[in-house]
Structure 1
């Protein structure tokens, strides 16, 4: 009972310091709730029955060719730096090169504890899983760069938050799960060789025409500027624009407390813990610039040690505000 996919796992070939190898934790009674057949076809997935899908995408069996791991990263959360976060409830099964030649991550979210769980249970409950499935596919249909939803699987187990809630696992597809926080963790630790390896990997995977770290910074800023303008144009509020939720690829990632505004309020907030309005609708452009400043800071150890290099990086980041306004 399994599924097959054309796995080609480049991230797993990086040194062990980038991740922890770990398998998903099996669940009691996996049941397929939603399945994105057109996306599955584009990825080259093959399977015999929907029961096979539930069994594998619920985490009870590994698909052929998978090399599961939890990724390490850090991040600024509501402006405060956390030196180690990582995939606390998600496991990257591996990467496939889809039928159009694009490399895609396949990740199980809510698949059990990892070394980065920090006391959490590593699980997800059904409500947020369905929200991410629906909203990410809506964003894709609107033409806005985003991670995709491949499947939602009920686990047959309860998870416990304020009360008992039905558990579920989301299968997420992304161009990659590299984040600003992935760069921050190595810069903060002073692990310059790992930072260099990560930068080269990101360039090769996402921006092959970029000229070194400065070129990567410029390319990511360009993508983020277009992305934020797209959010603003449809009244989308991400809700939690931490640097660990900011993808290097320029895709929308991590749909936590998010929303499309039903009625326009420029300072609308959509997160119960965002009491200061840091991630309000109107603040999203400036937060994107702030996040890119953190990326620039993380890349500084790789840049030419000169006033000119610092000035160029500063100019790239500061230019984003006008880029976002123009794109919007």
Structure 2
């Protein structure tokens, strides 16, 4: 991907997404053993970074596009539904039936038509291809799309703009790799002294294993994690070469560490982070030995969590 694509996406998202803050708290610094900054994308419009890539992709569609279709566990769904509505386009969103109710309802509230499927037994790609062909809809992929990756790069641009010449490791929750790849490309362009680390939940660490082996490696399971937002079969065909070129080794955290991190973020920073969005911060907090920099930036990629799961985290406070 060239820098012109990223720069153009950056221009298009201005005024349509929120510039999110870098938060810090001494209590979390003490646990991490270093300066720890949290890029609070949980405060983004629609509750996650996906608003960025969705806007970049929808705003780049050719004239005459009659509607869009996307598949998502909920965050990409809401981003696409919002961007499509703003551009006067209908949006069909294919979502797993076990997606958090808050994400399903949020997608419908933003104008998306939700089609549910069983992620263990049904192929979302096949469902999407059939509906797209029947209705003449443009597919907005959740991560393996150049415009989506370019939109997610805006997170990295904001980090680079704010931190300047500070050397840091930037930890990113990683599913298919769109956010991780976008941030890595932006930092390679604007802050090459910063390096990116993908973070994933235990049992769904396809990116970490793929980076270690040098080839794309699939997960054995397709569901069953509280970190639904970043449960994908494998890294993307577009994203993986970018991760190989620009990222350090991946990190893996447990579900208990994720829940504890959600509680710590709520207690000290007063922000709600969903499980998939908390894995990077969990890695920074519970694996301090994995980092060599005095400053670590953890991206909190989303905050769309069901009340029951949030209550489990609150019980740990």
TM over 0.5: no
TM-score by length of 1: 0.27
Larger radius of gyration: 1
Q: Which has the higher contact order (CA 8 A, sep 6+)?
A: 2
